[in-house]
Structure 1
Amino acid sequence: HGESASADMTAVNDGRTEVQPVLDGYNPVDVYSMDEAGLFYCLGPSAALSTNEVRGTKISKERILQLLFSPAISGKKFNLSIYFTYAGGSKAWMTSKEFQIWLSDVDHQMQLQEHKIVLLVDNAPSHQVGELELRNVTIHYLPLNTTSHIQPMDTGIIKDFKLHYTKQLVQLYINCAEENKAQTVDLQQALQFVERAWDSVCLTTTVNCWQHVNTMATTVSNAERASEKEKDVALAQLAEL
């Protein structure tokens, strides 16, 4: 939290200069980024329309960690069969073991599809490949203290994902209130919400975030934009409801 404001812009510009020639050798559909996002999955909004103060409410600290993985152009061109997996941990942190298991699965899927990609990740200790041999995935680590500006996930994709999750959680809590039930969500429901929220992040959002970080030239066809308009209309209807 607050990393963007404290980032060294000289390092950010140098980071872009470093990353751009790496990505220039790839087609945009072959460029992916990955990042984690913590989610307090039981925690509803901290404010409401009511002006009455709510006293004695304990804030839920139950947390899950998402590993979000997205291409620069389209999430539908290459679909992984390992789409949604769950692993338990005492602190809900990413570990190098879990990262390597996930990365090995991705590499295997890309081999089956005869598809080679480059994957942008931040240089965290948990993201080390170790002795893992990758055939179809090339890892490129982003420079230190630059990810808030040149990691597409951090410039809007994760935020959009969390908004879609919160919409579902709020609707659930409203339904519970109308039916005079306790406003709770279990882990199974939360994981279903996570999957739907990620599906709801539209192509336009992804492309705009990649263009914002300015590390590669991304384009999207009119046909792809038209297909995304239908999803945008559905979201607008949900917001109105």
Structure 2
Amino acid sequence: LLGPPKRQRKMLTVTQKVGLLDMLKEGRSYSAVGRHYGLNESTVRYIKKEENNIRRTAAISFNKDAKRVVTVRNKTIIRMESQGDVEPSPSTSALHSEPSPFYASKGWFDKFQKRFGLKSVSLQGEATPADAAGAEAYAKTKFKTIIKEGTYKPEQVFNMGETGLFWKQIPSQAKASGFRGQKDRVTLVMCGNAAGFMIKPGLISRLKNPRALKNKNMSALPVYWMHNTMAWMTKALNLNWFKGCFIPEVKGYLTEKGLDFKVLLLIDNAGGFADDLSHDGVQIEFLPPNTSSLIQPMDQGIIRTFKALYTRNTLQHLVDAMDSDQNFSFKDYWREYTIASCLQHIQRAHQEMKSETLNGCWEKLWPEAVHNPTESRLDEIHRSVVETAVSLAKRLRGDGFDEITSDDVNSLIDAHSQPLTDEDLAEMTKPPSEGEVEEDKKAPSVDVDKEDGLTIDHLATMVRMLSQRKQQINENTSHVFQRRFKFLTLRHTRESLKLYYNL
């Protein structure tokens, strides 16, 4: 015969344990409290023994329904993780005023992510709904007043925007062996004026000196090169771009036009931009919050069309490579597709952006500056570019390329602006690999104006130097986790990316 059913183990939440401890504090006996909660007296005594840990956890815990009290953790970490749910105490305020270095292991970070459900973050655009009324009011009143008081001409009014670019991705339908899309990401900084002129794009990479650009004059590139660990815009890089790229580019342009250096620069309010930008002759104006998608010229199709051109150019280069090589291999081609190849396609896309198209994107903000208003013009150009990209893909024959549609190409273009997934974040926070950072002394110079990419033929040298680089990579890893930790913590406290850029 079977014995009585096994008694189910009962676990109390942190809140229930606090209530149990309060009953004991009131003078109730262990047995009486045990009967109240359906526990053995020994369990009640064990909970009493852990009273300090339980009350400490209850005071700072996010999850009041948690059933486990973990071994005492570092108090600084506990307070930091709890700052979104509790009022700051004097000790917490002191912690923020005098921060101490924090270094986290990968295991801690992964558990931190799971504990608070941190899934993804959008690097571009505005999280809240667009403010149509605010956008209309700004365009019809304040902006017109600024233009009138400053007597600005279309050549003197510029707009700057930024966007991410996964420069080594292809439509998902293409399943060629060794040709899968990769998460190599850069940030593009694009800026143009109401007359239809675009200055040289800025580019933020993870690397300061990529091996593919070895011995290149970085100031002669078709982009203004910047770098940081995450390839993201920061206030320091924004100031770098303003002083090193915007000012000299605009000065040269206005001098060529015979105009005074009197400039209005419009910037969106999404965060990440330095609030101390200043230069003689330059007026900085931030657009109202949640209006960029409605009135910012760069968001009226300029950036999206630029990405469509970049995608088409990538496929064109691929088709040309296949047509010129009887032994063409997708895998070899993709391995040799470097950042230098990316710069070629960025340069070509920049050259193909027509001034009348750029001018038309100012219609919602400054209709008086638009020469030939045609709402559908940019859509038609975009559609034409996408159709050309589809035709090029079908010429590649097989491996899924012949199944690519316009929707697939548009999905790839739009993917650059989608929120980053956990996989994207993990990929971006990896320390640069040995192959990425190693500048081999024998590596040939790569000219971005040429069609050929850089082959990887220095493996032996890299292997010899691996042991020397191992310690440095480990040190860099802790720094990466520190930056990633700070960013996600600030996101949890709902300060968003704007506070991250202040770090």
The residue type paired with residue 236 of structure 2 is K
Structure with max Cα Rg: 2
Instruction: Find 1:97's aligned residue among 236, 257, 278.
Output: 236
What is the aligned partner in structure 1 of residue 171 from structure 2?
Answer: 45
Instruction: Find 2:369's aligned residue among 218, 226, 235.
Output: 218
The residue type paired with residue 238 of structure 2 is F
The separation in 1 between residues aligned to 2:283 and 2:170, in whole angstroms, is: 38
Instruction: Find 2:152's aligned residue among 19, 26, 29.
Output: 26
Give the total of aligned pairs.
Answer: 221
Q: CA deviation at 1:115?
A: 1.6
What is the aligned partner in structure 1 of residue 274 from structure 2?
Answer: 128
Residues 135 and 291, structure 2, Cα contact 8 Å, conserved in 1: yes
What is the aligned partner in structure 1 of residue 136 from structure 2?
Answer: 13
Deviates more, 1:88-97 or 1:152-161: 88-97
Q: CA deviation at 1:145?
A: 0.3
Residues 110 and 136, structure 1, Cα contact 8 Å, conserved in 2: no
What is the aligned partner in structure 1 of residue 348 from structure 2?
Answer: 196
Deviates more, 1:150-159 or 1:17-26: 17-26
Q: Is 2:219 the partner of 1:68?
A: no
Residues 278 and 284, structure 2, Cα contact 8 Å, conserved in 1: no
Q: Is 2:247 the partner of 1:107?
A: yes
Paired residue secondary structure (1:34): strand
Paired residue secondary structure (2:227): coil
The separation in 1 between residues aligned to 2:127 and 2:357, in whole angstroms, is: 19
TM-score between the two structures when normalised by the length of structure 1: 0.77
Residues 196 and 354, structure 2, Cα contact 8 Å, conserved in 1: no
What is the aligned partner in structure 2 of residue 228 from structure 1?
Answer: none
Residues 306 and 349, structure 2, Cα contact 8 Å, conserved in 1: yes
- CA change 1:3–1:101 in 2 (3 A) is closer
- CA change 1:12–1:99 in 2 (3 A) is same
The separation in 1 between residues aligned to 2:128 and 2:275, in whole angstroms, is: 30
Residues 169 and 180, structure 2, Cα contact 8 Å, conserved in 1: no
The separation in 1 between residues aligned to 2:125 and 2:247, in whole angstroms, is: 33
The separation in 2 between residues aligned to 1:216 and 1:4, in whole angstroms, is: 27
Q: CA deviation at 1:155?
A: 0.7
Paired residue secondary structure (1:74): coil
The residue type paired with residue 65 of structure 1 is T
Q: Is 2:165 the partner of 1:36?
A: no
Identity of aligned residues (%): 28
- CA change 1:2–1:32 in 2 (3 A) is closer
Q: CA deviation at 1:136?
A: 2.2
Residues 295 and 365, structure 2, Cα contact 8 Å, conserved in 1: yes
The residue type paired with residue 30 of structure 1 is Q
Residues 29 and 72, structure 1, Cα contact 8 Å, conserved in 2: yes
The separation in 1 between residues aligned to 2:135 and 2:370, in whole angstroms, is: 23
The residue type paired with residue 188 of structure 1 is A
Q: Which has the higher contact order (CA 8 A, sep 6+)?
A: 1
Residues 267 and 284, structure 2, Cα contact 8 Å, conserved in 1: yes
- CA change 1:6–1:125 in 2 (3 A) is closer
Where in structure 1 do 4 or more consecutive aligned residues deviate above 4 Å?
1-5, 53-58, 78-83, 108-112
The separation in 2 between residues aligned to 1:210 and 1:107, in whole angstroms, is: 22
The separation in 1 between residues aligned to 2:194 and 2:306, in whole angstroms, is: 16
Residues 31 and 72, structure 1, Cα contact 8 Å, conserved in 2: yes
The separation in 1 between residues aligned to 2:371 and 2:134, in whole angstroms, is: 29
- RMSD, aligned CA: 3.3
The residue type paired with residue 90 of structure 1 is T
The separation in 1 between residues aligned to 2:186 and 2:166, in whole angstroms, is: 7
Q: CA deviation at 1:75?
A: 1.6
Paired residue secondary structure (1:6): coil
Gaps of 5+ in 1: 222-231
Residues 100 and 129, structure 1, Cα contact 8 Å, conserved in 2: no
- CA change 1:2–1:100 in 2 (3 A) is closer
- CA change 1:44–1:119 in 2 (3 A) is same
